[in-house]
Amino acid sequence: MTISVASLGEIIWVIGIVAWYVIRYPFERRARRVRIVAGGRSSSDTVGLASALLGLAILPGFHVATGIPAAADHPASLWSVALGTIIFCSALWIFRMSHKELGRNWSITLEIRERHELVSAGPYALVRHPMYTSFLLMGLGQLFLLPNWIAGISGLIGFAVLFLLRVDKEERMMLETLGSQYRAYMERTKRIFPYLY
């Protein structure tokens, strides 16, 4: 049995998405047991999360399952699949490290947990939002893995909507909660790219 390069990219993308959920699931379960003391899901955050879900999972998943929209297909290449695999694996690694480091402070939305603490170790020593760095890399990996302009680019668009709707609000919330401790942390870190932005 031989598989095409296009199918190979799609299979790797599916494995990547399953691995993403395997990493996330235990943190979702644990988060249910830690009390929320401030914040909550706003309508703009719901739009951001829905965009990320649509662009990074639903649209590409629909394309992989049905081949639609075939008109947006472009030729697949082995170098693109290899690059996409490396980028997607890096995204999963950063995603896993950020969850591990955030631990009980993690929330899917903008919330403050009981006894919330500033996390500034591991990937958080370099950037304030490594989980968003991992979403950006996932979107980039998707672009290289799926040879379809719409399903390929949708992850980056979904990430951008979530990031732009959320990041200022998240930093404001952290400043209100942790005050000078978070301000000092902001002064020594970048947002998503170490030393750059």
| Residues making contact with ligand SAM (CB under 6 A) | 98, 102, 105-108, 110-112, 118-119, 124, 129-132, 170, 174
Nearest distance from C-beta of residue 60 to ligand SAM, angstroms: 21
Indicate the residue among 132 and 144 with the shorter CB distance to ligand SAM.
Answer: 132
Q: Which of 175, 181, 161, 173 is nearest to 48 (CA)?
A: 161
Instruction: State the burial class of residue 65 (Cβ atoms within 10 Å of its Cβ: 0-12, 13-18, 19+).
Output: exposed
CA distances from 133 to 71, 101, 149, 160, 189 (A): 31, 15, 22, 11, 14
Nearest distance from C-beta of residue 32 to ligand SAM, angstroms: 15
To the nearest 10°, report the CA torsion of 129, 106, 168, 154: 70
Q: Tally Cβ neighbours within 10 Å of residue 142.
A: 30
DSSP 73: B
Nearest distance from C-beta of residue 81 to ligand SAM, angstroms: 27
Indicate the residue among 20 and 106 with the shorter CB distance to ligand SAM.
Answer: 106
Indicate the residue among 107 and 142 with the shorter CB distance to ligand SAM.
Answer: 107
| C-alpha–C-alpha distance, residues 55 and 158, integer Å | 5
Nearest distance from C-beta of residue 178 to ligand SAM, angstroms: 8
Instruction: Tell me how far the alpha carbon of residue 152 is from its chain's centroid.
Output: 15
Nearest distance from C-beta of residue 25 to ligand SAM, angstroms: 15
Indicate the residue among 13 and 132 with the shorter CB distance to ligand SAM.
Answer: 132
Indicate the residue among 12 and 95 with the shorter CB distance to ligand SAM.
Answer: 95
